[in-house]
A and B are shown apart, each in its own frame.
Chain A
């Protein structure tokens, strides 16, 4: 059982230009928690600060103020503490065309985290572990020898998921994992994520702008608007009974096949 908590996290970016250094508040006083075995969806439009939250969570950015706690302990952002944290918290990036290095094979992408986190030592162990990871994301183990440009978007995103699973994390952040994929294969990737979440008892932060999949795949929804979480609660409640005007607007905008148009 692991929990990851954000306590009053603020992230400001200093903007260049002009006489006065202006600041942009990307994330304003955000608090939430992710638990093993549960999926939390973070919903909001572009520019609302969703991806900044992902970066803060992955320690790619440092918060201006506030605390990030893992199992009740503040996350260290260097040294062995960070290494341990990286083993426990992993991320799937948005764009599978950018998140895999075009120079390296799929095998390299999967072998590195395995070796870094001591999951495989010898070459044979690594090969076996890589094949096993590929099978888990329902790819042919033969694909280890391929380069990213030889694969489709869906296959690449599966590789990215496999890479995130390699250190056997407790918490997985999925930053719009299907927004760059073809509509026809989105459901396959999302179902895969959901299956893995159940099998591994992962805590998942599913970042998206799609209310329908957020409701379907997550237990809890956080609605983000201009850097703030404006509404949070169990999925059905947030969607069916939205309190904040922005959530109401979002729910209205989502296509509803049951509602008949008054023509």
Chain B
């Protein structure tokens, strides 16, 4: 029996490197994304603790960066850096809230419906499809313009409501394929309960997809909130990147050349979005290794000196 011979050798090899059970692909993309997003998140979490009151008015109006104010002041003499820290915290809070709510909703409608099947699946699919065809941002504008007292939670809820449907469709498709796998049948044969099969056997295999959906939902939420706040429909009394831009626009920052007022929030939106996209790309590469191979191949082609190609005789003529 070759297995019995093989077994001790394999376990000995495993003992040599105990922690390395799965080789995680570590890409520069993922690292860059994590570092940038982490730095911005850290700024949002710690910044407000050290910087002053973003609403405090001073006589030093519309001052350029310098003179003790790292990012200058607004038209009413408020500290832009303090505002930026609070805005980062506000935007990230909305992003995380929406991401969490959207992922729970899409997991519920996508996974549960697909696993149970029958009428439940039909109903859940119908709800998903209806939510999918409703145009998101206009609905958000309509809802948030009707509600008089807009809190952070309400805005997050409205954004989550319009952003979960796409993810639910993807999760439903993958669950439909997973539920027919033999290991699901095997756990049923073992006597596992339905909810346990869903949570323990199916859900972990959906993790990469859930993570990528979540990142996407966070990007959508931050951009959506920025859009809403910019047109004056954001959460009242909360600083976000969008509300900073709204006040900068109202204060004629562009006309007055006060770039330090509108560039920082705009830049942070762009950079944070880019960082999350980088993370999302690398999750995609983990889900679909073919993508990674393509990236590696492309990089190899880039790094190969052109002259090398010419040294191979014959190939030049046949390719041209």
Question: What residues make up the interface of A, taking CB atoms closer than 8 Å to B?
Answer: 58, 60, 82-83, 86-87, 90-91, 93-95, 98-104, 112-113, 116-117, 138-140, 142-143, 145-147, 150, 152, 154-155, 158, 160, 163, 166-167, 184-185, 188
Contacts and interface: CB of A to CB of B under 8 A. Distances in A.
A70 to B, nearest CB: 15
Given A143-B11, A145-B14, A163-B186, A138 B191 contact: no
A58 B186 CA distance: 10
Contact of A112 (B3, B10, B190): B190
Contacts of B7: 139-140, 142-143, 155
Contacts of A90: 189
A138 B11 CA distance: 14
A139 B10 CA distance: 11
Interface string B272-316: 000000000000000000000000000000000000000000000
B131 to A, nearest CB: 26
Interface of B: 1-4, 6-8, 10-11, 14, 21-22, 181-183, 185-192, 200-201, 204-205
Contacts of B204: 101, 103-104
Contacts of B3: 138-139, 152, 154-155, 158, 185, 188
Given A98-B182, A147-B21, A152 B187 contact: no
Given A142-B11, A143-B7, A154-B3, A100 B191 contact: no
A95 B189 contact: no
Contact of B191 (A116, A152, A185): A116
B191 A86 contact: yes
Contacts of A95: 182
Given A138-B3, A143-B7, A152-B3, A99 B182 contact: yes
A101 B14 contact: no
Nearest to A192: B1
Contact of B189 (A91, A98, A142): A91
Nearest to B9: A140
Which has the most chain A C-beta neighbours within 10 Å: B182, B186, B200?
B186
A60 B22 contact: no
A140 B182 CA distance: 25
A147 B20 CA distance: 12
A138 B6 CA distance: 11
13 contacts: A58-B189, A93-B186, A98-B182, A98-B183, A101-B183, A138-B3, A138-B4, A140-B7, A140-B8, A142-B14, A143-B7, A146-B21, A150-B10
